[in-house]
Structure 1
């Protein structure tokens, strides 16, 4: 069984509080042999750690963020009978014909109701609608109180048909790069100098497969997910050839 001491060695001080809360869920499910769901949507470095290092035959650990490639996910411990996650999906419809709402508008309006950020998952915006998973027990509060965003009236409802959930869209880019070192990739896809890329790495603003890293020389593989705070989220695709100067031509998928 994972110990708290080993757990804390894998997390910074800023992430330790969240990690310990999840650890208590893990420990209770393990010791009592019961199903436990986290009471929040965990950040990617938290859920990926438990999914990767604590998933044993004796204790099944799974995650769910509703959307494909979700960053924020609820964790289930010891759920062999596939009980439903205590999650609702809320659809928010912008009823205004004169204003276009963006991701930040929806998020700001939800948080202004006093909802903690970890009680909702990722927000996906499609045209005049937004969709987000929320902890089941507080969904009715949001339905009752989220009536407008700025000056735009909105309608909210629980989305029962999961087939109506939109998929994530990507913008496909092709970059030419000398190597798949992390600092090279960050500089290229962010359109900044390598010096600025190193600053992002040193300030812990870069995540590879949802884990913060400062290793500038790390070689990325096809399928690696790179999140750059303030810049975007990307998936490393295939190498499709080389330029005359010997640089690799790499497909990059950017989340939009």
Structure 2
């Protein structure tokens, strides 16, 4: 059976990467630590490794509900601990009274410093605190070079993982039906848009699926896809439940309130 037929064409390079990691572990008998993976990549990784009794696959992102996590693939007999993931938790405070900092501001500051997105995990902002989980090999660079976010001066410091802030996010579960799983159709139902509005958002590059901008209205959505529409928030496809008696497709999803 062709492994690739179960995935999207744009995911083939990541599948090749996973197969390379598996070969590395099987031939060298040593664990492999990945960069931070988003949920879709985590699902692909799990699917490929499956129930291989000779291997163990685990993920860590700082907190149970983290979106982005580092993965470790290792021989079944090796011990994997929290320290094995080689991550550090960085924290900074800012003067909330004078400036408002949001997720894109923090991410922008890190990317502007030359840091690749795959090197950092989830970003959590709570009151005047910012926390971000990072790969340990860039910790020293970040501490020395990230000194401002937006218009606020900040100084990050390393803190114990146990001090992590639990994100106060609220997701609402819903069920809807769609005439198809085309991206424009699904957006129309989830975000209560007209078909024309959904098309406009997509064509203007304001829609992401699994953190990648998608500009094709005919893109087919699948279970576990994470959708985001600029200015409208995020939604996660939980399950595609099949057809109704009227021939529509029933999907369950969660929307971030």
Common topology (TM > 0.5): yes
What is aligned with 1:32? 28
Moved more, 43-52 or 107-116: 43-52
Distance in 1 of aligned mates of 2:89 and 2:172: 28
The alignment of Structure 1 onto Structure 2 pairs a total of residues equal to 228
**Deviation string, structure 1 residues 30-68 (Cα, Å, up to 9, x no partner):** 222211111x21233322111123131111112222233
Alpha-carbon distance, 1:135 to partner? 0.7
What is aligned with 2:194? 193
Distance in 1 of aligned mates of 2:253 and 2:21: 37
**2:49 maps to 1:54:** yes
**Deviation string, structure 1 residues 80-122 (Cα, Å, up to 9, x no partner):** 4113211111112214530011111111111111111111112
Query: For residues 169 and 180 of structure 1, do their structure 2 counterparts lie closer, same or farther at Cα, with a shift above 3 Å needed?
Result: farther
Query: For residues 32 and 156 of structure 1, do their structure 2 counterparts lie closer, same or farther at Cα, with a shift above 3 Å needed?
Result: same
CA contact (8 A) 2:62 2:164 kept: no
Distance in 2 of aligned mates of 1:89 and 1:8: 38
SS in 2 for 1:118: helix
**Deviation string, structure 1 residues 109-148 (Cα, Å, up to 9, x no partner):** 1111111111111212222222221110111111111111
Paired residues for 1:7-86 under 5 Å:
10-13=7-10, 15-38=11-34, 40-55=35-50, 56-78=52-74, 80-83=78-81, 84-86=84-86
What is aligned with 1:99? 99
Gaps in structure 1 of 5+ consecutive residues:
208-212, 238-249
Alpha-carbon distance, 1:189 to partner? 2.6
Alpha-carbon distance, 1:162 to partner? 2.2
CA contact (8 A) 1:36 1:76 kept: yes
Paired residues for 1:164-203 under 5 Å:
164-170=164-170, 172=172, 177=176, 182=181, 186-194=187-195, 197=198
Distance in 1 of aligned mates of 2:88 and 2:255: 27
For normalisation by structure 1, the TM-score amounts to: 0.71
Moved more, 18-27 or 123-132: 18-27
Gaps in structure 2 of 5+ consecutive residues:
211-217, 239-250
CA contact (8 A) 1:72 1:121 kept: yes
SS in 2 for 1:26: helix
For normalisation by structure 2, the TM-score amounts to: 0.71
SS in 1 for 2:24: helix
CA contact (8 A) 1:65 1:73 kept: yes
